């Protein structure tokens, strides 16, 4: 989970900083998609938290994970409908971000409740000192 967090943050930073290069790579026909891709990249920041859902299901709390997933789907659908009603197509990708944010936060909380194991936000960065220590010992 830590490795994914660091990799997704690096990719998101690259997409946000390289927006113009992304537009050039995609071609002029897809220039408008650059903003949507940048917004969608925000969803990747909370995707690693959703991995705790696998542990929740393995711990036997399938119904809990199903409720979290349903709540995430409702959050995404509500945002999709709102962006359609407001006729603001550029807001549409935020529905995907909302889905993964609700899924990640819900699974994170369900993981803690079903297993009793505490995960801290600082654990998401654990790969950095571990990798540094591994490289120094080699």
Alpha-carbon distance 13 to 19, whole Å? 10
Sequence ranges of the domains in the chain: 2-137
pTM of the model: 0.76
Q: What is the DSSP letter of 3?
A: H
Angle, helices 94-115 vs 62-85, to 10°: value is 160
Query: Residue 112's CB: how many other CB atoms inside 10 A?
Result: 14
Q: What is the pLDDT of residue 59?
A: 84
What averages of pLDDT result for each successive group of 10 residues across the chain (138 residues)?
76 77 72 79 84 86 93 96 91 91 90 79 74 81
Alpha-carbon distances of 113 from 1, 35, 134, rounded to whole Å: 19, 37, 33
Please answer whether residues 108 and 32 qualify as being in contact, where contact means their C-beta atoms are separated by less than 8 angstroms.
Answer: no
- Contact assessment for residue 1 and residue 121, using Cβ atoms and an 8 Å cutoff: no
Do residues 37 and 15 make contact, with C-beta atoms less than 8 angstroms apart? Answer: yes
**Backbone phi and psi for residue 85, each to the nearest 5 degrees, phi listed first:** -65, -40
Residue 78 near residue 136 (C-beta atoms within 8 A): no
Q: How far apart are CA 43 and CA 110, in angstroms?
A: 20
């Amino acid at each position: 989970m830590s490795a994914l967090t660091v990799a997704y943050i690096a990719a998101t930073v690259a997409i946000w900083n390289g927006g113009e290069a992304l537009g050039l790579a995609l071609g002029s026909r897809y220039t408008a998609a650059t903003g949507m891709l940048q917004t969608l990249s925000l969803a990747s920041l909370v995707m690693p938290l959703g991995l705790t859902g696998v542990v929740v299901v393995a711990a036997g709390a399938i119904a809990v994970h199903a409720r979290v997933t349903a709540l995430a789907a409702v959050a995404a659908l509500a945002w999709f409908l709102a962006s359609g009603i407001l006729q603001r197509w550029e807001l549409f990708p935020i529905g995907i971000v909302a889905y993964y944010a609700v899924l990640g936060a819900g699974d994170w909380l369900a993981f803690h409740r079903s297993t009793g194991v505490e995960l801290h936000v600082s654990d998401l960065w654990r790969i950095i000192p571990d990798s540094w220590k591994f490289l120094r010992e080699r």
